Amino acid sequence: MLDQLKRRELITLLGSAAALWPLTVGAQQSGTLIRLGVLGPPLNNPPAIAQYQAFRTQLGELGFREGQKFAIDYRGLDDPRGSFVVAAELVRSQPDLIVTIGPETSLQAVVRASGSAPVVMIAVNFDPLALGYIEGLARPGGNITGLVFQQLELAQKQVELLTETFPDKTRLALLFDTQSADQFGAAEAAAKALNLQAQALRLENPPYDFDAAFRSVASGRAQMLLVLSSPFFLPHQAQIVGLANAQRLPSMFIAKHWAQAGGLMAYGADFPIIYRRAADYAVKILKGAKPADLPVERATKFELVVNLKTAKTIGIELPTAILLRADEVIE
C-alpha cells in the first residue's frame, strides 16, 4: 500500500512527472545515449531469463539494440539492500524510461523515488487503478502505463480445471506464501464452492522448507495440489515439481514453464507475450508518445498446458476432454 501518499497527492506527483516528459524526448533527439532502467525479478532461473530475453528481443526488432546508443540497466528485486534503495539508485542514474516488473513493491519503490522518467509497468497481482497509481485504464494520466496481470483472477479457474480432470478427488492442498495470500483466498473459496476439502500450506520466512511442506501434504492425505504464484517459488521450481511427482500427486501450476519443467498441468498467462507488449510500450514512449495517453492493458491470452509424460510417470490417465482442450500437450 502507499503508506504516506494519499491518492490525490500521488496523482499530483505523477502528473508533475508527466509534465517533464517532453524534456526527455528532446534529449533523445539530440543523439545522446538512451538509457532504459528495469526493476524486476531476479534473473536467476530459466523462466525469468527467457521472459526478459523476449523483452530484449522485441526491443531489438523495433530498433532498440543494446550497444547502438541504447543501454539497459537491470536491477533485481532480490537485492539485499531492498527495492527502495535499488529504485533510488536507478532513478539517480537518470534513465529515459523505467520498466517495473512484478508485485506492487517494484512500482511503489520507483514512485517513492520521485523520478520524472516515464514508467512502463508489468503489474503482477495488484491493481494500479485501485491503489491510485493511474487515473484510469483507458487514460492512465501521469507518467505510468503498461500491463496488468492478476493471478487472483485465475485461481478459481485453476481449481475448476483440477476438479474437472479428477472428479473423484476431494482433498486439495494449496501451497502459497505472503506474496500469494490473495490468490489463496480466491482458490480456497473456489474449493469450498466445489465441495473440496482445502488444506492450507503457507510458507513463511524464506528460504522456505519445501521438504517440510510436502511432508504436511502427505500427512494431510491430499489428493491434488495447486501451487500458487510467488517469486520465492520459481528458483526452486525443480525441487517443487520433483516433490509433487514423487508423491504421485496430480498438480496444477500457474504458468507454462512449470509444466515444461515436469509439472503435470499449468494454466496461466502467456508471459513472453506480456513482456513483448511491455517492449512495444517502451518503444512508443521512447519515440515520443506520452504514457498518459497509452491505455493500460490487461493480460488476455491464457493457456492450458498438460505434461503427458509426467502423467504416465506418476500413473495418471488424463481425460480425453482435457487433452483436447489443452493449448499444448507435452509428450
Q: What is the pLDDT of residues 216-251, one digit of tens each?
A: 999 999 999 999 988 889 889 999 999 999 999 999
Amino acid at 316: I
Same domain, 195 and 205: yes
Looking at the structure, tell me whether residues 165 and 142 fall in a common domain: no
Radius of gyration of the chain (CA): 21
- Whether 125 and 156 map to the same domain: the answer is no
Q: Which domain holds residue 168?
A: 152-269+303-330
The Cα 38–Cα 23 span in angstroms is 21
pLDDT at 140 over 50: yes
- Position 103 scores a pLDDT of 86
Per-residue confidence at 13, pLDDT binned at 50, 70, 90? very low
Residue scoring higher pLDDT (291 or 31): 291
Helix (H, G, I), strand (E, B) or coil at 77: coil
Q: Is 2 part of a structural domain of the chain?
A: no
Q: Indicate whether 224 and 313 sit together in one domain.
A: yes
What is the average per-residue pLDDT within 111-134? 90
User: What is the Cα 177 distance to its own chain's centre?
Assistant: 15
Mean pLDDT, the chain, as a whole number? 90
Position 64 confidence tier, pLDDT thresholds 50, 70, 90 = very high
- The Cβ of residue 112 has, within 10 Å, a number of other Cβ atoms equal to 18
- The answer on pLDDT for 7 being more than 70 is no
Q: Check whether residue 16 and residue 128 sit in a common domain.
A: yes
Given a cut of 80, whether residue 284 has pLDDT beyond it is: yes
Residues 137 and 195 placed together within one structural domain of the fold:
no
| Residue 120 clears pLDDT 50, i.e. is over it | yes
Q: Is residue 50 part of a domain?
A: yes
Please state, in angstroms and rounded to a whole number, the distance separating the CA atoms of residues 201 and 288: 48
In a domain, 227, yes or no: yes
- pLDDT class of 106 with cuts at 50, 70, 90: very high
Highest mean pLDDT among 24-28, 78-82, 247-251 belongs to 247-251
pLDDT of residue 115: 65
Residues 322 and 201 in one domain: yes
25 and 85 together in one domain: yes
**DSSP state for residue 33 in the 8-state scheme:** P
Model pTM? Answer: 0.82
Is 1 within a domain? no
Count structural domains, the chain.
Answer: 2
CATH number at residue 25: 3.40.50.2300
Pair 49, 22 in one domain = yes
